[in-house]
Structures are given as structure tokens and as C-alpha cells.
Amino acid sequence: MKILIIEDEANIIQLIRLYLEQASFMVLSASDGISGLELHAREHPDLVILDLMLPGLDGMEVCRRIRAWASTPILMLTARSGEDDRIAGLELGADDYLVKPFSPREVVSRVKAILRRTAGDNAGANAPHVASNEEVRHFDKLTIHIPERRVEVNGQRVTLTAKEFDLLVMLTSSPERVFTREALLNQVWGYTYIGDGRTVDVHIGTLRKKIEAVKGAPHYVKTVWGVGYKFSLEEQEEHE
């Protein structure tokens, strides 16, 4: 597994590299956004660790450009404690974030958690809830090809990030069942954030936007106020 670190602080790269290499990852690094994007395009890493505060092209812009052509999982690093930056990053398609200062062990465990989820049905026992032996799920206008991680709405392909896909697989594993934010964090992210259900909200928001951008797409992912979310085929007639 190849990890690309885009970070301008050499000592942080060095530290993360050390721990990731000990965990048997291959590590590439870039100290600015442009060379990071070039490395990404050339090397096709399995995951990108992206610092938000970079000289020149900032992390947000790097994230946006990576997302324009790839669904590579992105773990953001941010020195800012402001929730707005984290939400903005997640909305741009980052999968997860860590606020500096963080422990290098935490980086390794986040990277592993993200990759485990991204591996989807190859994740085996580590992801019993997201993984599935089913090959394809059909729901009216929605089709999910699980092994290929491909989603079609009204016959039109919708490109989802790793987390958006995993959320959709999770929700559709049991239509009408209400999933709490905590349950989704646990099962899709692989660990529990303390009191950070906003991460789920943001990913649900971008997932919905992508599904509903397709003409005639029903509103499948429903909010259950004060509790969480569910996948439901109800009310689809209204949208036809």
C-alpha cells in the first residue's frame, strides 16, 4: 500500500514516514501542493495525507483538484481547531481529518481504518457491517455494484468517495432501519469520534447531493430528526 504525504513541515513528514514504514506502508512525500498533485497523478497512491496549510496552493485546493479526477481516500491534517475548516475539507471530499498536534500512532490507526473501509468487501472480518456477500443491490432507480464500488442512479453512473459509498452500503444494508450517527461513525469510519456527528452529516449531505443531482432521482437518504439517518423508498411516487 502506497501513501502520499503532502506537507511542508519536514519533521512532520519524517515522523509520519517512520511510523507508516514500520507498519509496512510505502511512503511518498511532497512539500507543496503542485508537486503533491504531480506525484498523485504519476504514482496513484492508495491514500493521501494532506496538510491543509501549505505554501502556494493550499490543502483545500489540492483536495478539490484530486477529487476532480480521483476518489483516492484523503486524510487531512489541520492545525486549525475551527470546525468550519474541517467541515469545508470534508465537503470537498476528504474522508477524515486529524487536528495537530496528533500522535503518529493515531495517524497510522486512521490510515488503516480508512483503507480497511475502502477495501470494502475485501475487508473481511474487520468490516462485517459494511462488507457484504451480495454482488449487486437494486432499489427502484438505484443500483449498487458492491465489488466494483459502482453506483448508478437512473442508469447514470454516480462517482462517490470511499466514505460516501460506505455510508450508502451501510444504509441500504437495512432499508427503513434508522442508523444513529454514532453507529455510522463506528461502522463506516471504524472508530468513534467523541461527539463529532457533524462528520456524518457532511458526508450524508454530499452523498445526497450526488444522488439527487441525477434527473428524476428520488430522495432516498432521509434524516430522522434527533436520531440519525435511514434509507427509504417511501415517497418515491412524489418524485416521479
Q: What does the binding site for Ca ion look like in residue numbers (CB under 5 A)?
A: 8, 51, 53
Q: How far is the CB of 53 from Ca ion (least distance, A)?
A: 4
Paired residues of 150 in beta bridges: 145
Paired residues of 4 in beta bridges: 28, 48
Nearer to Ca ion by Cβ, of 89 and 120: the residue is: 89
Q: How far is the CB of 55 from Ca ion (least distance, A)?
A: 8
Nearest residue to Ca ion, using CB?
53
Nearer to Ca ion by Cβ, of 37 and 151: the residue is: 37
Q: How far is the CB of 36 from Ca ion (least distance, A)?
A: 12
Half-sphere exposure (CA, 13 Å, Cβ side) for 124? 1
Nearer to Ca ion by Cβ, of 103 and 122: the residue is: 103
Nearer to Ca ion by Cβ, of 66 and 158: the residue is: 66
Q: How far is the CB of 89 from Ca ion (least distance, A)?
A: 14
